[in-house]
Structure 1
Amino acid sequence: MNVSESFQSALESVRANKLRSFLTMLGIIIGISSVITIVSIGDGAKRFVAAQFENIGTNIVNLKINSTTDNVKKRDYFTLDDIQLLKEKVPEITSIVTDIGSSGTLKTENNKSKKVSAIGTTADSMKFYSIKIIKGRYLNETDIDAVKNVAAIDDKTAIKLFGDTDIVGKRAKLTMGDKNINVTIIGVFKDTSASLGQDPGDSVPGFMVMPITIGDKIFKYTDISTLSVTLTDMKNADQISSKMVRILENKHQNKGKYSAQQGFKELDTINKALSMLTLGLGAIAGISLVVGGIGVMNIMLVSVTERTREIGIRKAIGAKTRDIKMQFLMESVILCLIGGTIGTIFGIALGKVVSYFIHIDIPVSIKVILIAFGFSSAVGIFFGLYPAGKAAKLDPIEALRYE
């Protein structure tokens, strides 16, 4: 019996017991689909994070107050003057972004109101927040320096308050505790909460961006603990970082309270964490493949027992030991390959469903699919060897006597 005949015989056996074959393949289907879905989500998450870093660039140094320092005082926090000083002293700086935030209520002249998260920030922050302006404009340096009462809001908030997104020039009142301020809307940007899988509604606060100089006046907490500095290039990032730390220490008259961390190192850390998480979850999902393989072995042993007389007849009419072994091994591999195919299709479909709900593109790598099929074949061979060997070793006389 050649390979083709073994394949045909094994396929007929699988067809003859459709329900049992499907239940046997179920563990393989679940395992393969789980692995493909988890690995695809992990790859999608890494691409999403990388895209966010590409939007803001990787030439970034984050200046922070050391979290391990216990004796941080009010005067140690960064100020708006620090931003100007660093730009004057360090020519390699192209932009500095920081922000302060608070929550409040935005109310129109028609008494429509909505809770908002107000962010006071610098003009260079647009790319850091991945903001896409759809009407009007974003903050500029004039708004910051002149301490203008202007703001940009998200489109969901604009529609809730004004019924439209074309609202440039409209005015609204921002209330924070006992402080009120009238602001002019200069821009409307695309709401980003959907990209994070949220369902923005009335219960979700809107997003409002305003000059940090205004926020410094009306927010309750205005301490700045982080400055994100963009450099022309990162060749001398270590030296420039040390220089910026010294400038800040000299201005604030302190020592050892500031640290500088290069932005692309954070990307590496995030990618490593995502890779480890994906690997861990994939390994857990892979356990179901082992369970599925045991199920295949179990059903093949049952099949050997049920077909003992058939094996005896085949051997009696000239079938060799390797022919019997090939037949049952082929049946095991076919079960796993069919299960792997169904699992792959289901895994890809599940990834697309998850992608739709979390609004993140989830790619399906050909490499992952090939690995899935390879693993399916390996499971079929590994867990089919023992039943096939047992069938091949049956004595033809004893097999013919079996009832």
Structure 2
Amino acid sequence: MFFHILKPIWKRKFKNLLLSLEILLAFCVVFGLALMSARYFQLYHLPTGFAYQDVWSVSMLGTGEADTKNDARVTENFQRSLAAMPEVEQVGFITHSPYSNATWTTDFYLPDSNFRYSIHMAEMADETPGLLKMKLLEGRWFSSEDEGRAERAIVINKKMAELMFPGKSPLGQVIADTESGGKNIKLFRVMGVFEDYRNKGEFMAPTTFAIMRYSKATGERRMETALVKVKPGTARAFEEKLHQQLKLIRSDWGYKISPLADMRQSKMTEDTIPLVILAIMAVFLLIMVGFGLFGVLWQNTTQRIPEIGLRRAIGAHSGHIYQQIVTEQLLLSSIAMLVGMVLLIQLPLTGVLGESINWPIFMTATAISMAVIYAISTLCALYPAWRASRLSPTEALHYE
């Protein structure tokens, strides 16, 4: 049966070429949208590694270069004064807040190897991992007992542990970092392994991550961000009271206070803008392709009226004509999508986009794209096919 349907498609190959290109373009655009949507869906359901509920971020903006240096008395004053507020449960310090766009990367290497690993970094005080409810898989978090040791305490995520220490425990291992210029080698001892920390939110791809211990007593630079864990149900009006308390500590500094829940919502909106733009483009393209398909199918069925009349005269009933028109369109769409698949399957095979395209995402995007194109092709073919099936043999054979 398919051979008989392919024959008329092949005879009109030049007319069908432009139509096939339109379908191919639509398939690629829908595939891109489905691929991005599937990736976002997959990332959204992965653990971020921290809890944002009832946590507020306080950015402490100094007045000059002198304010970037750490003052243990000022840091301790912030800790005590904020923790003493009845609405506050816990206070911790961190280099950059979750859901911010800040990125800190450095190159770590093993002392007996020159191979370097690019790692995302953050620096936290002893209280911060517990404040964020980060999940520890093995070992322990850094604490005051790590103060004064030759190697600075560090904890790494599971992905980094598997990359740098395959097949063995990373606990107690020493890793190194060299400052720019090749001098001042810094050594770190791995104290624990945590699950993950996707600090940029739900749509951040999993990556290697390490967290260094920040010492409030001996740290060279002060922390410019404090995380404040408030009691559940604390109203947004608490922001004014918190700001006043901060001004009592350092009146010459500026402060930016934001609940992590609000920062999360803003970050998710920002991250989904490309997806929304692509979705709008895809909708307009599909509308144009749909109109194009409908027009071409209408013209084709009009030009084929004598052929349809001959089929009706030799015994084909209206259902056969209806089925033939729809099946031809679906087969033409399948050929165009097959060409697209030959090109697109190179993405997961070559790994050109890394972990962004894995086989589950690729297969999901393929299924969605094919379903959309088949649905549009079927809808566009329904009326021309119905119109052709309604022709009487006499009317069709006398058509000029």
Aligned-partner Cα distance in 2 for 1:60–1:262: 6
Helix, strand or coil at the partner of 1:94: strand
Q: How does 1:79-228 map to 2 (within 5 A)?
A: 80-81=75-76, 82-90=78-86, 92-99=88-95, 119-126=122-129, 136-143=139-146, 146=147, 148-149=149-150, 150-152=152-154, 154=156, 166=170, 168=172, 180=184, 183=187, 185-187=189-191, 189=193, 196=205, 207=210, 209-213=212-216, 216-217=219-220, 222-228=221-227
1:56 partner letter: A
CA distance in 2: counterparts of 1:374 and 1:105, whole angstroms: 45
- Report the RMSD for the aligned CA atoms in angstroms: 5.6
Q: Deviations over 1:285-332 (max 9, x none)?
A: 345534544564465356436634223335667989x77984576346
Residue 313 of structure 1 corresponds to which residue in structure 2? 310
Aligned counterparts of 2:324 and 2:167: Cα–Cα separation in 1 = 69
| 2:226 counterpart of 1:231 | no
Alpha-carbon distance in structure 2 between the residues aligned to 1:223 and 1:26:
60
In the TM superposition, what are the counterparts of 1:4-403 in structure 2 within 5 Å?
A: 14-17=5-8, 20=13, 24=19, 27-28=22-23, 30-32=25-27, 34-42=29-37, 44-45=39-40, 48=43, 51=46, 55-65=50-60, 72-73=63-64, 80-81=75-76, 82-90=78-86, 92-99=88-95, 119-126=122-129, 136-143=139-146, 146=147, 148-149=149-150, 150-152=152-154, 154=156, 166=170, 168=172, 180=184, 183=187, 185-187=189-191, 189=193, 196=205, 207=210, 209-213=212-216, 216-217=219-220, 222-233=221-232, 235-254=233-252, 257-290=254-287, 292-293=289-290, 296-297=293-294, 300=297, 303-304=300-301, 307-314=304-311, 326=322, 330-331=326-327, 334-335=330-331, 338=334, 357-358=355-356, 373=371, 376-382=374-380, 385=383, 389=387, 396=394, 399-400=397-398
SS at the partner of 2:268?
Answer: helix
Classify 1:306/1:242 alpha carbon distance in 2 versus 1 (closer, same or farther; 3 Å). Answer: same
8 Å contact from structure 2 (residues 93, 223) kept in 1: no
Amino acid across the alignment from 1:94: Q
Mapped to 2, the partners of 1:301 and 1:159 lie a distance apart of 59
Q: Tell me the number of residue pairs that the alignment of Structure 1 and Structure 2 aligns.
A: 374
Query: Which is richer in helix?
Result: 1
3-state secondary structure, aligned to 1:228: strand
Tell me which amino acid in the other structure corresponds to 1:140.
S
TM-score by length of 2: 0.64
Query: How many percent identity over aligned positions?
Result: 11
Amino acid aligned to 1:185: R
* Matches of 1:162 and 1:352, distance apart in 2: 24
Q: 1:105 to 1:363 in 2, by over 3 A?
A: closer
User: SS in structure 1 opposite 2:219?
Assistant: helix
- Cα distance, 1:34 vs. partner? 3.7
**Distance between the aligned counterparts of 2:386 and 2:323, measured in 1?**
8
Question: Separation in 2 of the partners of 1:102 and 1:298?
Answer: 55
Is the 2:63–2:252 Cα contact (8 Å) retained in structure 1?
Answer: no
- Match of 1:57, SS state, is coil
1:41 CA drift (Å): 2.5
- Per-residue deviation, 1:63: 1.2
Structure 1 regions of 5+ residues with no counterpart?
A: 1-7, 201-205
Task: Give the unaligned 5+ runs of structure 2.
Answer: 97-102, 199-203
Residue 49 of structure 2 contacts residue 195 of structure 2 at CA under 8 Å; is this kept in 1?
A: no
Tell me, in whole angstroms, the C-alpha distance in 1 between the residues paired with 2:293 and 2:113: 68
Q: Distance in 1 between matches of 2:216 and 2:181?
A: 18
